Chain A
């Protein structure tokens, strides 16, 4: 198993550009999520999905869109990049939607810089 994979590893955008961060998992996990981590901070939840076709907002959803057309993939779209979106983005997945019982697996992260 490759686990949770994220691409790209690094990205530089100009203000106003759009892009999609890719996340895939090969563990047949129902739950997937996106977090961002700013310097010196803990991770904050952007969007999550409890299964294909179902998505919902987390703590900091503004400026981001998601979709979940397959179990394996959960892309994160930045609609119009802003310097405040400079961060490290982590994707995660877990077996079930009922949180407490299942550990989450995290990808290696995408480091995004918006100039």
Chain B
């Protein structure tokens, strides 16, 4: 399975935008880019996913590079509730819906 690389940790001030990067240089044409987050002592929670075009939902935006070798999860206004570990995961279009988690980026939000 294609691998992703994320920074171990990032910090953001409350109510400021946060850009969480993810590199996936070995992505294949049938890989979707999924983001999940895990709040402390909880199970992971789906955030957003995309294939080629940028995507927006109520939680976040996903910006995908034109060559698809990297992507950025954008939280428009960080809140204390956004403090979590964020995972960038490649999911193949065909086959079972299996997620292969790395170690993710731990986001700290400073009040």
Contacts and interface: CB of A to CB of B under 8 A. Distances in A.
A42 B97 contact: no
Interface stretch (A44-52, A64-72, A73-81): A44-52
A50 B64 CA distance: 29
B43 A98 contact: no
A86 interface: no
B21 interface: no
Interface residues of B, number: 27
B16 interface: no
Contacts of B32: 99-101
Interface string B79-111: 000000001000111111111111110000000
B15 interface: no
A50 B95 CA distance: 10
Contacts of B98: 33, 45, 48, 58, 99
Interface string A82-107: 00000000101010111111111111
B46 A99 contact: no
A106 B43 contact: yes
5 contacts: A31-B96, A45-B98, A50-B96, A100-B31, A109-B43
Interface of B: 30-32, 34, 36, 42-46, 49, 51, 87, 91-104
